[in-house]
Every structure is written in C-alpha cells, then in structure tokens.
Structure 1
Amino acid sequence: MRTDAEELGAAVLRLAGERTRLLGLGEPTHGVEAFPRLRNELFRYLAGHAGFRSVAIESDCLKGLVVDDYVAGGEGDVEEVVREGFSHGLGASAAARELVLWMREHNHGRPEHERLRFYGFDAPMELSGAASPREAVLRLHAALAAHVPLAWDVPEFAGLFGADERWDNLDAMMDPARSIGRSADAVRLRLLADDLTGYLDAHAPRLAGAGERDWWRARLYGRTATGLLRYHAAMADDTPDRLARLSGMRDAMMAANLLAIEARETGRGATLVYAHNRHLQRELSTMRLGETYVEWWSAGAMTHARLGDRYAFFATGVGHWPGLEPPAPDTLEGVLSALPGERLVADPKALAATGVRLKPRISTDYRYIPLEPDHDAEGIVFLKTAEADTEEAAAADAEQDAATDLPG
C-alpha cells in the first residue's frame, strides 16, 4: 500500500507531464511550516522515484551556494549553514534544516551524477529593498582574475561601493530620492559590471575549461551583479510604473536563474522549484500596495515562455489555518475543502470542465493570497488545514512583515 507521500508525489507526476524539467510548487503564504514540509516530502519522492536531482527555492542565489557546498559534503556546522545559507528569514524554519540534513545524508558516498544540488534562485533582494552589489561584483572580479588578465584591480574601484547602508536603505523602496541607484558611483559600477560580464563572454572557452563548477558560479555572479545594479537604478526612477517595473525586474532575475539551472541540470535530472505562487504562476501577477495596483509577469510566466511544457506549475492552497476564516463553498478552496481526504492534488482542467463558475476567495489575513478560480496550472495541491506556525516560523514571518506585506 502506498504511503500518503507516495500518493501525493504520484499524483503530481501524473499531471506534470513527461517533458517537465522545472516543476514549480507554489505556496500561498510564507512562514507556515506546513508548506515547506510539503516541499520536503515531495522532493524526497521526486528524487527517489523520478530522478529529480536538484531543488531551487525562493532564497538569495549567492547565499544558496553555502547550502550547496554543505550538502555536497563540505565542512561546517548545520546551524550556521542554515543561518547563513537562506535569506528572507527562511532559515528559521525547521523544514529548512531538515531539507539540508536530508540532502547531505542522501549525497554521502554517492557518485557525482546521483548527488542532489541546492539552489537559491531569488536575487539578493525583497520588494522592501535590495542588497549592495559589493559581494556579486567582487566575486565576479575574483572569478575572472583567477584566469584572465583584467584592466582593473580591486583597490581601483572598491571605493565606489561605500557603506552598504547606502544601498540597502529600506526608505528607498517608497522614496526614489533616497536611492543611490543613479549616483555617479552607481553608474560607474554598472559600467564596470557590464565590462566584466563582457569578459565572461569573450573568454568563455578558457573559463569553461577551468571547471564546470567555477564556470557556473562566475556566470551567476555576472547575472547577479548586473541585475542588482539595474534594479538599484530603477529604484531611483520616479515614473508612475516604478513598482511594476521593480516587481518585473526581480522576477526577471529569478527567471534568468531558473533558465540557467535548467540548462545546467540537463542530462542529470529535473528540478523542483519552490516559491510563492505569485512568483511561479503563468498568468499575470497582481498585488495592491496601499492605493497602488501593480501588475507584472512572474518568473514562472517568463520561464514558461522560454521552456514551454518543460515548465510545470502546481499552485498550493489551504482551507483553514489559524487567523483565516473558512472558505465560502462557491470558491475554489471551498470546493476542494468538500472533497474527501486531508490533502489532495486536483486537476484544474477537470474542475473547469464541470462548468461551475467559482468566485475568488476573500482572505481575512493579508498574508494569505487565495487561489485563482481559473489558475493556469498543471495542478492544485490543497491542504484542508495547516496547523499554527512554529515559534521559529512565526518569528521569521514577523520579521518579514516588518519589512513588507508583499508576496515573497
């Protein structure tokens, strides 16, 4: 007899399609342990039964390298790895620690082609602000300087960064005048990052020959450095569509990382991608920030435009969790709550074929973004209930709430 986890995983695989290379699993809110635990369950099943070889989560792509080194067998303390290797407060989740330990144990003694890899695919930012480009630019310079003569030494441009507080000022999110993104230093750094990524292209044969791992990371540093500086420049823009542009630019950086992951993992196995539903869905993403209504294309939509049916998306929803009123019966969550079982995987096309017109759920907790009645998705993963947050997850969620009330 199959376990509950096996039933869940088999149902996802049936709907995903054989060509899937990136399987997106969304979550409707952050900070609720039930969802990352579901992610862990599904990834264990996919790794064991469908040849998945990597997981990518909505966390800082540079910090994720710390986790990947550790699960590959590197030295370190798991508590420090989880603390330093996750962003957005995700390291406070017990499920994060469980995932890291399980991946490390799985990899022990296995040949390289069977080992699991960990990726963060988000940029070093949230909608509340963005990090200094210092780390990405310096890592890019070091990766190039190890193999290619460069026209600049670090002391010649290090002063352009200044204090990191100039870059990660949270006030700059809502006040373009507080952003450093179009200062003389930022403009010079943006040109420098562009020149350095040009070196990546011009010396690709030499750099690629130096080793796949270093070549992969050098390109990651290049994408991150140029993307961050582009984002900071947009933060200094005072045009009416500023927030929509910033949302789209962040997701474009996510999509670029996902496409690079898919290309790297070709021949090894597929990847489970885990993030907020709004970052993975294929339809236009929307949100309201005060009186401002924002629309943008998500990382999932951009990735699907490039990969077609090699990208699959499963939205996740919940019927009840503390603080959220039960769904009305004429909403998607209401219909799914009435079906048997504590959790299930539903086919949106089969639901649409019934002809029943469903209404959007009205969320009584701003953190929970309801399922769309007509989600363009391969499947809906639905939990009837989700228990209260652990203290760690609640603390992480509170930390994020203090910065922003936006998805991701």
Structure 2
Amino acid sequence: MAAHASFQEALPRAVAACALPLEGARHDHDALLHAIGDSTLVLLGEASHGTHEFYSERARLTRRLVEEKGFCAVAVEADWPDAYRINRFVRGRGPDPGPLEALGGFERFPAWMWRNTDVLDFVRWLREHNDAHPHHAAGFYGLDLYSLNTSIEAVLAYLDRIDPEGAERARRRYGCFEVFGHDTQAYGYATSLGMAESCEDEVVRQLLELQRRAPEYARRAPDADGEDEAFFAEQNARLVKNAERYYRAMFRGGAASWNLRDEHMAETLDALRAHLGRHHDAPAKIVVWAHNSHLGDARATEMSREGELNVGQLVRERHPDAFSIGFTTYAGMVSAASGWGAEVEQKRVRPARPDSYEAVLHATGLDRFALLLRDPRLSPLHVERLERAIGVVYMPATERASHYFYADLAAQFDAVIHFDVTRAVEPLEKTARWEAGEAPETYPTGL
C-alpha cells in the first residue's frame, strides 16, 4: 500500500518536472512550436465545447502558427457553409461588414460553440492579419456534415448564378428530400427502415456532375475567386452525399454513424489541403480545431475496441508529420446544455475523478502548463487511465458513464495543455440561465 502511495505521489512530481508553464507571455509556446517543427497539420483539441481557456489558448497558438510558420487555414468542427461565410469575411469578400455579422450563419444548436466572444476575437484578428498580409492570408473552414439542407441551398444558389440549366437538374435530384421538409432525422428514420427510397443515387449523380464541370465553372466565374467558389460548391455537394449516408446510419446503431462523420471530416481536410496547395510545390499548412475525442488518436482509446475511428487516427495514418495537442481541465465552469437542443447554461464542472489523467495533472499543483508527451521522463503516463470528455451536453449526475473513457494519453496526443480551473466560454447570446450561473454544490448551507 505504501509503495502504491509513493508511486501516486511520484507521478505528479515527474509531470511537474517536465511541465512548460503558461504565463500569458509571447514565449509561452516556444517549446511547442519547436516540437511542431515542419509539421504541416497541427490538431488542437478541447475537452469540452464550452471552455474559455481552450478557445483562447488555441487562438493564441494558431496566431503564432499563422504568423511564424506560414499556416494558411484554420479548419474547425463546424458546418462547411456556415464557416465559409467567415472565410469570405476574413479574406475581404462577401457582404458582411464585421466579424459579428460573419458569425451569423451559426443559427442551430449549439450556437454558442462558435457564436462566442473568443471566436469573435479570433475572427477579428484573422481579418486584420489578412488585410495587413494579403500574400500570406489564412482562411477559415468547416469540416462537419450536419448542414445537409443548408448545403443543398448553397449548391443551388451557386448553380443559379453559374449554370441555370445545371441548377434545374440539381433541383430535380435534391427534390428527393422534399417530402421530409428540413427534418433530416425523419429522412434517416424512414429510409433506414425501408419506409422510403433513399436519395443516395441522386446526391452521388449531383456530386459527380459538379466535379466533372468544376474547371468549366471556375472559368465562367465573374471574378478572380472562381476556383474557390467552384470548390465551395463541390464541397457542399460532397457534404450532401456524406450527410445522406450519415442520417441513414444514425438509426442502425453501432459505430457506423460516428465513423462516417469522422471520415467525412478527414476527407474534407484532405480536399481542402489539396485545393489550397494547388498552386504551390509544398502542401498547404492547416490548423484543425475540434474536440479531443475527434483529434486524439482513437487507437489509443477504448473507442477502437468499440469499432470507432476518428480524425486523429486517419490523419496520423495518412500524414505521419501531423502534430496533435489535447486540452484538459480539472474543475471550473463550462457552457453546456442539459440535453440536446436545450438552452445553454453555465454548469459547474465537478472535480475530476481521482483515477483520471486530470487528477494526475491537478496533483502537480500547477495552474496551467503544457507537456510534450514524447519526453521519456513521462513514460509513466503511457498507461490507460480515465479521461474526461464534455461535449455540448454535460450531465454531472451520470458523469462516469456519460463523460469518461479510457485512454493512453501519451499515445493519443503528441502534447497536452492543462488548465486546472477553467471558466465558461461566453456566448454572444446569453440566456437567463447562463447569466444566473450555477450555485455551488454546498448551496444553500454554505458548508
């Protein structure tokens, strides 16, 4: 027993000895940037979708990657058409007069994930950077596939401008979805049970036509952005194809829908990389923002035992030079909902379980720091422990079952950034429940 206690004390000491303090200074990330080296893909995770420190630190590190290492894009866990509206703004295109308006595409749940003050500040910075350095501009793109209806509308709007006859063909093909209105889950339910014909053949035909005619459409475009707009339309058509499969897979259970979603994000990332690097000899350098569960290598977690893969695994398999950084916290507050589609709240994050990685990092006594996990002194971290994951829903009452999974942190990521106590990201639209916050667990006794 004494030997076990001694080991439990020795591990936090070993971690503390390797810790790189984060003091809010410009040089904070020097060691991380040195470790990143010539990597062309840097994956920046988060342990929740509502923690201020995760957003702000990712933005700080991304600014240096753009300014000092020539990264030309940020690709995020967001829908393609909504994020592309931001891309147009930061590149000085489109009608939006400011960053607040450019974030206007994020209307559906969970709006706070991207409509928050930290993202607003980053979008403002990105526009200012691009205005000052037009030959080293960086874009903003989405990787996710939930926007089936919005992407259909975007394809039709593009074709209305560039090829009205092609737009009519697309309307006929996408008309397959009309009986379901905008209810993508109803479509998935009915087709998975054989109650309705799937639209698979029609969406594949539409994508193939757009791909075949993309060079012609780029030449027809009325401005210099023709190649980008043709790519935007093609990606929307690809999203519709993959989203159609995803919504059908949702009702079959198992790992299929999760895998389809992450395969789509990895496919989109590769397509974006090829598009942005088309006029250069070197591959495009891209920063990716998404949840730890998407960006940490699934093979190092219990996900793989359940048949799941993720973006982090696919990227490492395809691009061995990629560098991934996970983010963790021990306690604090988070912006999250109590159920899917519910309003955002400030919810108290329980102190991490004593058998978790977060507890080990907390036991160092350090407030905020980074770790380079390839450091041989950190080999004791190369074991399976519990790791916490909070998405857009946080259920503290069932936290062990709902929010913890086993992982080998040192195999999952190349580095980790830990903030011991964190605060909730601030939504641009605050609900009354968010403003009220959450009372401490000792309320009303105060004990």
Structure 1 residue 49 displacement after superposition = 1.8
The answer to whether structure 1 residue 191 and structure 2 residue 201 are counterparts is yes
Give the aligned partner of residue 108 of structure 1: 131
Give the aligned partner of residue 213 of structure 1: 228
Identify if the C-alpha distance between structure 1 residues 85 and 105 changes in structure 2 by more than 3 Å, giving closer, same or farther.
farther
- State the number of aligned residues: 372
Q: TM-score, normalised by structure 1?
A: 0.78
Counterpart of 1:47 (choices 46, 66, 69) is: 66
Superposed, which structure 2 residues align to 1:15-94 within 5 Å?
Answer: 15-18=35-38, 20-73=39-92, 74-76=94-96, 77-85=98-106, 88-89=110-111, 90-94=113-117
Identify if the C-alpha distance between structure 1 residues 86 and 36 changes in structure 2 by more than 3 Å, giving closer, same or farther.
farther
SS in 1 for 2:416: strand
Structure 1 residue 186 displacement after superposition = 5.2
SS in 2 for 1:360: strand
RMSD: 3.6
Give the whole-Å Cα distance in 1 for the aligned partners of 2:275 and 2:432.
32
Superposed, which structure 2 residues align to 1:176-325 within 5 Å?
Answer: 178-180=189-191, 187=198, 189-210=199-220, 211-237=226-252, 242-266=253-277, 267=280, 269-284=284-299, 286=302, 294-309=306-321, 311-321=322-332, 322-325=348-351
Structure 1 residue 272 displacement after superposition = 1.3
Give the aligned partner of residue 333 of structure 1: 358
Give the whole-Å Cα distance in 1 for the aligned partners of 2:33 and 2:65.
8
2:114 alignment partner AA:
G
Q: Identify the range of structure 1 (94-103 vs 144-153) with the bigger mean alpha-carbon deviation.
A: 144-153
Deviations along 1:104-129, one digit per CA (max 9) or x if unpaired, are: 22222532x311211111112xxxxx
Runs of 4+ in 1 over 6 A off after TM superposition: 182-185
Q: Quick check: which has more Rg, 1 or 2?
A: 2
Structure 1 residue 236 displacement after superposition = 4.6
SS in 1 for 2:45: strand
CA contact (8 A) 1:342 1:383 kept: yes
Identify if the C-alpha distance between structure 1 residues 182 and 105 changes in structure 2 by more than 3 Å, giving closer, same or farther.
farther
Structure 1 residue 207 displacement after superposition = 3.5
Structure 1 residue 391 displacement after superposition = 6.3
CA contact (8 A) 1:280 1:300 kept: yes
2:291 alignment partner AA:
H
Give the aligned partner of residue 372 of structure 2: 347
Deviations along 1:326-354, one digit per CA (max 9) or x if unpaired, are: 553x7533443344753222122225654
CA contact (8 A) 2:218 2:230 kept: yes
Counterpart of 1:7 (choices 17, 24, 27) is: 27
Q: TM-score, normalised by structure 2?
A: 0.71
Structure 1 residue 137 displacement after superposition = 3.3
Give the aligned partner of residue 18 of structure 2: none
SS in 2 for 1:11: helix
CA contact (8 A) 2:81 2:154 kept: no
Give the aligned partner of residue 123 of structure 1: 145
Structure 1 residue 141 displacement after superposition = 4.9
Give the whole-Å Cα distance in 2 for the aligned partners of 1:353 and 1:67.
40
Unpaired runs of 5+ residues, structure 2, are 1-21, 221-225, 333-347, 389-394, 435-447
Give the whole-Å Cα distance in 2 for the aligned partners of 1:40 and 1:388.
16
Structure 1 residue 252 displacement after superposition = 0.9
Give the whole-Å Cα distance in 1 for the aligned partners of 2:170 and 2:373.
54
SS in 1 for 2:178: coil
Structure 1 residue 11 displacement after superposition = 2.2
CA contact (8 A) 2:383 2:408 kept: no
Deviations along 1:166-200, one digit per CA (max 9) or x if unpaired, are: 6334x88xxx7x4455768652x322221122223
Give the aligned partner of residue 183 of structure 2: 167
CA contact (8 A) 2:43 2:295 kept: yes
The answer to whether structure 1 residue 377 and structure 2 residue 389 are counterparts is no
Give the aligned partner of residue 360 of structure 1: 385
Counterpart of 2:118 (choices 84, 87, 95) is: 95
Give the whole-Å Cα distance in 2 for the aligned partners of 1:221 and 1:234.
20
Q: Identify the range of structure 1 (363-372 vs 6-15) with the bigger mean alpha-carbon deviation.
A: 363-372
Unpaired runs of 5+ residues, structure 1, are 125-130, 288-292, 399-408
CA contact (8 A) 1:21 1:262 kept: no
Identify if the C-alpha distance between structure 1 residues 53 and 389 changes in structure 2 by more than 3 Å, giving closer, same or farther.
closer
Identify if the C-alpha distance between structure 1 residues 166 and 358 changes in structure 2 by more than 3 Å, giving closer, same or farther.
same
Deviations along 1:16-49, one digit per CA (max 9) or x if unpaired, are: 231x122001101111111111111111222222
Give the whole-Å Cα distance in 2 for the aligned partners of 1:179 and 1:7.
55
Identify if the C-alpha distance between structure 1 residues 396 and 14 changes in structure 2 by more than 3 Å, giving closer, same or farther.
farther
Give the whole-Å Cα distance in 2 for the aligned partners of 1:341 and 1:256.
39
SS in 1 for 2:133: coil
Q: Identify the range of structure 1 (158-167 vs 274-283) with the bigger mean alpha-carbon deviation.
A: 158-167
Identify if the C-alpha distance between structure 1 residues 357 and 394 changes in structure 2 by more than 3 Å, giving closer, same or farther.
farther
SS in 2 for 1:42: helix
Structure 1 residue 78 displacement after superposition = 3.4
Q: Identify the range of structure 1 (37-46 vs 140-149) with the bigger mean alpha-carbon deviation.
A: 140-149
Give the whole-Å Cα distance in 2 for the aligned partners of 1:144 and 1:389.
38
Structure 1 residue 296 displacement after superposition = 0.9
Give the whole-Å Cα distance in 1 for the aligned partners of 2:317 and 2:384.
28
Identify if the C-alpha distance between structure 1 residues 326 and 249 changes in structure 2 by more than 3 Å, giving closer, same or farther.
closer
Superposed, which structure 2 residues align to 1:383-402 within 5 Å?
Answer: 383-390=419-426
